[in-house]
Structure 1
Amino acid sequence: MTTPGFRPTHVVPQDGMPAWEVPDPTRPTVPLDALLPVQLAERRGDWAYVLCANGWSAWVDGRRLVAVPQDPPLADGPLTRAADPRPLLARAEQALARYRAAVEELAAGGLAGEAFRGRTRGLRLGVVVDGESMWLYDAEQGRWAYADGARLSTYATDDGPRAAAGEAGHAPTQVVSPDGA
């Protein structure tokens, strides 16, 4: 359940990330799930204290957080099928139902751990609802979408920007470590 007033400022990288109870690498805790929306609460050098959409809080390597836009895009123009949030909501419900069914079968002893991992492999779901605002992770498109109740627009994506058709491609900016790797 999301805390009232929660508004994500970042998401966890797509591979998840380690977390700590305090900014001390000798005291790890449960890692954070991939693409989990978080709200940055405090910074101490490279350390970041985050409040998570799932109600948890932890210290993480703040350099690895993926920033999201401060304000969601405004929904303007007429509603189109591509901007209708209902198909994405239906896919989120289906993914959650598949996960819940696998958990129920595992808890009832009808499914072994490896079979559970196989049945849930590839399932991805992310939902934050705050009043009329909603952020949904669209696993098919690799994006977070923002909905205001009637319209849906892209909020953040897994992929970097692409050149428009017919434009000359430019190499993306690359981050390199101090040793040049």
Structure 2
Amino acid sequence: MKLSEAESTMQKTIDATKRSFNTIRTGRANTSLLDKVMVDYYGAPTSLKTLANINTPDASTIMIQPYDRGSMNLIEKAISLSDLGLTPSNDGSVIRLNIPPLTSDRRKELVKLAAKYAEEGKVAIRNIRRDAVDSIRKQEKNSEISKDESRDQQDDIQKLTDKYIKKIDELLADKEKDIATV
């Protein structure tokens, strides 16, 4: 595994961690809260975003307008069964989700969830580092590169790993601040 390959894979891990953070609810309405909601549409699990237009008319409301009105009840059921803790209200043409202000206990739970997502990202980055270092050691063992080259490349991989771990820590700090903001 080359340094550039390792870096691009680490960047993908950062992007995945950002997407995970976006699914954590803060005190404001955000359409990305619904990214993981899957609707059982005609027997197939379908992403809510493909079934409806989703927007935020104000800071505490998410409005979902299904393309097919026949799917209203299915969408309502999927949201109710999700782990969002939101109750949908259906007026016949749109579904509204009111985002209540977070309690301090709920904020603590969400900070723990964000920390869990960050740790998953860090583990993924460390696994990429391990694979890269194994590849370098294998090249050294096969006499494709010298010991000095091997050590230099391993140092570069470690510096890259430290850089991306720091990025995840910064993302986590931002998300914790976002959750704590009332």
Q: Which TM bucket (shorter chain)?
A: under 0.3
Q: Which has the higher helix share?
A: 2
- TM-score w.r.t. length of structure 2: 0.28
- TM-score w.r.t. length of structure 1: 0.28
Q: Which has the higher strand share?
A: 1
Quick one: higher RCO (CA 8 Å, sep 6+), 1 or 2?
Answer: 2
